[in-house]
Amino acid sequence: MKKGDLIVEAGVARERAYAPYSKFKVGAAVYTKDNQVFHGANVENASYPLSMCAERNALYNALMHGYKKEDLVGLAIIADTKEPVSPCGACRQVISELFPRDGIILLANLKGKVIEKDVESLLPYAFDEQDLNR
Protein backbone atom coordinates (compact mmCIF):
# COMPACT_ATOMS: atom_id res chain seq x y z
CA MET A 1 0.00 0.00 0.00
CA LYS A 2 1.26 3.44 -0.87
CA LYS A 3 1.67 6.01 1.91
CA GLY A 4 -0.97 8.22 0.34
CA ASP A 5 -3.45 5.35 0.33
CA LEU A 6 -2.89 4.75 4.04
CA ILE A 7 -3.59 8.43 4.71
CA VAL A 8 -6.81 8.13 2.68
CA GLU A 9 -7.80 5.14 4.87
CA ALA A 10 -7.19 7.26 7.98
CA GLY A 11 -9.48 9.89 6.44
CA VAL A 12 -12.19 7.27 5.98
CA ALA A 13 -11.85 6.36 9.64
CA ARG A 14 -12.00 10.04 10.63
CA GLU A 15 -15.49 10.28 9.15
CA ARG A 16 -16.65 7.76 11.79
CA ALA A 17 -15.32 9.78 14.73
CA TYR A 18 -17.70 10.53 17.57
CA ALA A 19 -16.71 14.02 18.69
CA PRO A 20 -19.87 15.88 19.77
CA TYR A 21 -18.04 17.94 22.44
CA SER A 22 -14.75 19.00 20.90
CA LYS A 23 -15.82 18.70 17.24
CA PHE A 24 -12.19 17.60 16.71
CA LYS A 25 -12.36 14.47 14.55
CA VAL A 26 -9.29 12.26 14.24
CA GLY A 27 -8.85 9.16 12.11
CA ALA A 28 -6.16 6.50 12.09
CA ALA A 29 -5.36 3.47 9.99
CA VAL A 30 -2.97 0.59 10.66
CA TYR A 31 -1.54 -1.40 7.76
CA THR A 32 -0.31 -4.99 8.14
CA LYS A 33 2.25 -7.12 6.34
CA ASP A 34 -0.56 -9.15 4.76
CA ASN A 35 -2.23 -6.01 3.32
CA GLN A 36 -5.02 -5.60 5.87
CA VAL A 37 -6.13 -2.17 7.08
CA PHE A 38 -7.64 -1.50 10.48
CA HIS A 39 -9.41 1.77 11.20
CA GLY A 40 -9.75 3.76 14.38
CA ALA A 41 -11.40 7.07 15.18
CA ASN A 42 -11.62 9.14 18.32
CA VAL A 43 -14.67 8.43 20.47
CA GLU A 44 -15.57 11.07 23.04
CA ASN A 45 -17.58 10.75 26.22
CA ALA A 46 -19.22 13.41 28.40
CA SER A 47 -16.89 12.11 31.10
CA TYR A 48 -13.76 13.16 29.20
CA PRO A 49 -11.29 10.67 30.73
CA LEU A 50 -13.40 7.86 29.27
CA SER A 51 -12.79 9.07 25.71
CA MET A 52 -10.51 7.10 23.38
CA CYS A 53 -8.12 8.38 20.73
CA ALA A 54 -8.10 7.23 17.11
CA GLU A 55 -4.54 5.89 17.23
CA ARG A 56 -5.25 3.57 20.15
CA ASN A 57 -8.55 2.45 18.62
CA ALA A 58 -6.81 1.50 15.36
CA LEU A 59 -4.01 -0.40 17.12
CA TYR A 60 -6.42 -2.18 19.46
CA ASN A 61 -8.62 -3.04 16.47
CA ALA A 62 -5.69 -4.79 14.76
CA LEU A 63 -4.76 -6.64 17.95
CA MET A 64 -8.35 -7.77 18.51
CA HIS A 65 -8.26 -9.28 15.02
CA GLY A 66 -5.29 -11.43 15.99
CA TYR A 67 -2.45 -9.29 14.69
CA LYS A 68 0.72 -8.74 16.69
CA LYS A 69 3.24 -5.93 16.82
CA GLU A 70 5.52 -7.67 14.32
CA ASP A 71 2.64 -7.90 11.80
CA LEU A 72 2.22 -4.12 11.57
CA VAL A 73 4.09 -1.94 9.09
CA GLY A 74 2.30 1.40 8.83
CA LEU A 75 0.20 3.78 10.89
CA ALA A 76 -1.41 6.96 9.55
CA ILE A 77 -3.16 9.61 11.61
CA ILE A 78 -5.14 12.55 10.20
CA ALA A 79 -7.07 15.53 11.56
CA ASP A 80 -8.15 19.01 10.52
CA THR A 81 -5.11 20.82 11.94
CA LYS A 82 -2.83 23.58 10.64
CA GLU A 83 0.18 21.27 10.68
CA PRO A 84 0.18 17.46 10.59
CA VAL A 85 -1.59 16.11 13.68
CA SER A 86 0.51 14.96 16.60
CA PRO A 87 -0.43 12.03 18.87
CA CYS A 88 -1.08 12.78 22.53
CA GLY A 89 1.27 11.46 25.20
CA ALA A 90 -0.91 8.46 26.04
CA CYS A 91 -1.03 7.43 22.39
CA ARG A 92 2.74 7.85 22.04
CA GLN A 93 3.21 5.45 24.95
CA VAL A 94 0.81 2.88 23.47
CA ILE A 95 2.41 3.24 20.02
CA SER A 96 5.84 2.68 21.58
CA GLU A 97 4.67 -0.65 23.00
CA LEU A 98 2.34 -1.96 20.29
CA PHE A 99 3.90 -0.68 17.05
CA PRO A 100 7.23 -1.92 15.66
CA ARG A 101 10.29 0.31 15.95
CA ASP A 102 10.92 0.09 12.20
CA GLY A 103 7.30 0.81 11.24
CA ILE A 104 6.31 3.94 9.34
CA ILE A 105 4.15 6.50 11.13
CA LEU A 106 2.49 9.15 8.97
CA LEU A 107 1.13 12.29 10.62
CA ALA A 108 -1.17 14.23 8.29
CA ASN A 109 -3.69 17.03 8.03
CA LEU A 110 -6.58 17.64 5.64
CA LYS A 111 -4.50 20.14 3.63
CA GLY A 112 -2.15 17.41 2.42
CA LYS A 113 0.78 18.06 4.75
CA VAL A 114 2.48 14.88 5.93
CA ILE A 115 5.36 14.16 8.28
CA GLU A 116 6.92 10.70 8.47
CA LYS A 117 8.10 9.52 11.87
CA ASP A 118 9.11 6.36 13.69
CA VAL A 119 8.47 5.19 17.24
CA GLU A 120 11.77 6.49 18.62
CA SER A 121 11.24 10.00 17.26
CA LEU A 122 7.71 10.15 18.73
CA LEU A 123 8.74 9.03 22.19
CA PRO A 124 12.46 8.86 22.94
CA TYR A 125 13.31 7.08 26.19
CA ALA A 126 9.90 5.42 26.30
CA PHE A 127 8.93 3.48 29.40
CA ASP A 128 8.84 -0.20 28.46
CA GLU A 129 8.96 -3.74 29.80
CA GLN A 130 12.67 -3.44 30.56
CA ASP A 131 11.90 -0.71 33.06
CA LEU A 132 9.67 -3.13 34.98
CA ASN A 133 12.51 -5.63 35.49
CA ARG A 134 14.95 -3.29 37.19
Which residues have a catalytic role annotated? 55
Question: Residues 43, 49, 51, CA angle at the centre, nearest 5°?
Answer: 5
Neighbours of 43 (CB within 10 A): 15
Half-sphere exposure of 62 (CA within 13 A, CB side): 30
**108 close to 76: Cβ distance less than 8 angstroms:** yes
Helices (H) and strands (E) in the chain, counts: 5, 5
Count of residues making up the chain: 134
Q: For residues 37 and 84, give the distance between their C-alpha atoms in angstroms, rounded to a whole number.
A: 21
Is 57:73 a contact under the CB 8 Å cutoff?
no
